[in-house]
Amino acid sequence: MSDQDDDWLAPPGAGIPWLERNALGAGIRVAARFVAKDRLTDMFRREALQAIRLASALPPERGRKRVLIPRMRGIEDSSRNWSVYMALEHLVIVNSTVAAMLPRLYSGREISTEIRIEEVKPVPEAGPEQIDDLGALVERYTDLVDKLGNLRAGSTHPHPWFGPLNAAQWHALATVHNSTHRRHIERILKQL
């Protein structure tokens, strides 16, 4: 089986096991309630910059190589056969989506767009440009969050696995998500 053939993996959006999903959702809600916004922002930045550092050390051909890893906590089956650059592109897609939602949720405005897990998957052709894209996004995202006040105020928008989340919870999710995919990248690197 080639590293490009992942038809045998569960389809995108198939999710993660029920117990794990509920534990992650509870953890996100606890973090949003008890961890200061600035601390979450620092963690968001630190995890993303670590992922960038890991990717920056690779020659492009290794950064593009898809590697099958064992499933890890927080990673659905369809994400196990990615390259380092695909993981970075996924972070760019997800964090861009969260950044677009935060001001609307903060101000109490409704978001009509449904978030679908299968629509935030990277393309196999993702390349080293994702390093700069994620770096620029981290700056925009952290500047945006710094300008917003109490993220716990406002409205909610549903996550496909975790249900309705307010802006603080989406921010906590983005932070946990960066950490998850930084660990994902480390596992890919171990298999290269």
pLDDT in tens, 42-81: 999 999 999 999 999 999 999 999 999 999 999 999 899 9
pLDDT category, 8, cuts 50, 70, 90? confident
Question: Contact, 123 vs 86, CB < 8 A?
Answer: yes
The residues pairing with 82 across neighbouring beta strands, listed in sequence order, are: 67
What's the confidence (pLDDT) of residue 3? 47
CA pair distance 8, 78, nearest whole angstrom: 9
Average pLDDT over residues 104-113: 93
117-154 pLDDT, tens digit each: 889 999 999 999 999 999 999 999 999 999 998 999 89
Q: pLDDT tens digits, residue range 14-52? A: 778 899 999 999 999 999 999 999 999 999 999 999 999
Structure tokens belonging to residue 187? 């596992």
Residue 11 confidence (pLDDT): 79
Question: How many CB atoms are closer than 10 A to CB 60?
Answer: 11
54 near 187, Cβ under 8 Å? no
Residue 7: the pLDDT is 62
The CATH homologous superfamily of the domain defined by 18-191: dinb family like domain (1.20.120.450)
pLDDT band at 172 (very low <50, low <70, confident <90, very high): very high
CB of 151 closer than 8 Å to CB of 106: yes
Q: Give the pLDDT of residue 14.
A: 75
Give alpha helix (H) positions in the chain.
Answer: 18-34, 37-56, 60-63, 84-106, 129-147, 167-191
> For position 6, what pLDDT does the model report?
64
Q: Is residue 5 predicted with pLDDT exceeding 80? A: no
* More confident of the two residues 35 and 9: 35
Distance CA 117, CA 90 (A): 11
pLDDT at 128: 98
How far lies 67's CA from each of 35, 38, 71, 158, 182, in Å?
A: 34, 35, 12, 31, 15
